[in-house]
Structure 1
């Protein structure tokens, strides 16, 4: 299939992106949460440790989004993000399916690499394969929390990325939000927002507690954010929506359904085709 051959590099980038995120999450969590390590012993406050973990993961997300690879694929690294852009008709069905498959595979491989790096430490209860499970408030509260933070992230992405004056800061804003979510929301649901990220941890840990909510709340929250964006005076600007978390002039969008059809903010795929491959 021509589309599959043409965009294979982008699929690989999506897998690598989430894989790197999972490795970073595992290593940073181990360094700060393993009771035998100096950092954990020095920083007794769990809120402060979560702030440091959140900061590290926010910076990881920002680095992925603004990397040359992230600029090329759009750095979705999340099936819920890809599904939302598919709903907005900014990515074709085949590309969306391949993105999602790559994200699941990449997240799982990243966790396996992290397990090799950390050895038995990754299975320690303090790290526990960085699984995402509901907190003491229960499954319903965790579902609502995942829905809310996913809605918040996509609302931010759509509103920032589609304002030309600030679009280049979309990845930074998203990274800051990830840091805040990990710091304050993680005790409620584990702060996933990402079905592929949750499954990557659940597979080796064999912990399936309330996994349904991590496959439903994030896409539902992001899809609702897209609907709200389109209906709040933005529908006439639907053609401006770009399917990248870092809209840029260096690489074209993956789909002719995106900026090529009238975004106006970025060069079309044809004008950049010689620089893309």
Structure 2
């Protein structure tokens, strides 16, 4: 039972409420992107929409009182965290698809007390450029108030790394083992280079970005796509992607990383991927200062189910 809520309710005096901007889901306030967005529900009324969502049932109530409505447009693909943590009053929040007032049963997420008496919805899958409707209010019986809505987006990880040069499988010719999860050691770091990916691996809506990191700077880096998983010594590293190979792109970066986005590559288009394909990826890079003979090395492999 929320004793704090009861104390607030008992202490409250009757005041006249005045509708504020965003008080009605027909005319929500609009925000874009990530950051801290101030709000004030002190004068907000309680609407009829979003009051009976099953996933909003906390402490015996599905209602969200003193609610204001915000139309938020995501600026990245990923998992969003939408929170009022740090706000002084007892909050309760929900998220819906945009396109007018919410239809009953369409809530995407809802939360009451994830951080004290404040709220945090994590893991809300969002798409760059898509708008969502947010309901920001308080637990029934609690007063509204001023606060900040904090929004952040974590990139979607996609796929699975494999084929590591850490001694658990094939050993490179030079014996230059890397760290767990990486390719073989190189002249810049004994831990070796790493290949990872984020984004949406959907053909036709592909936002996948493959990134090779911890590579020696000012050296050519090539990223390949293959059909099969292999594991054999190759140069100063291990070849992990085999079968029919497609070179997705090449770059020479002054930094210690290279990615398909900076190469101007849409992975599924360049690789000729169709829905249902399982593809393997790997980066090869020149390592002119290597103590090993071949002077080129590889990252770990990375597989993506499209």
State the TM-score bracket (shorter-chain normalisation). under 0.3
Structure (1/2) with the larger helix percentage: 1
TM-score by length of 1: 0.26
Higher relative contact order, structure no. (Cα contacts within 8 Å, ≥ 6 residues apart) = 1
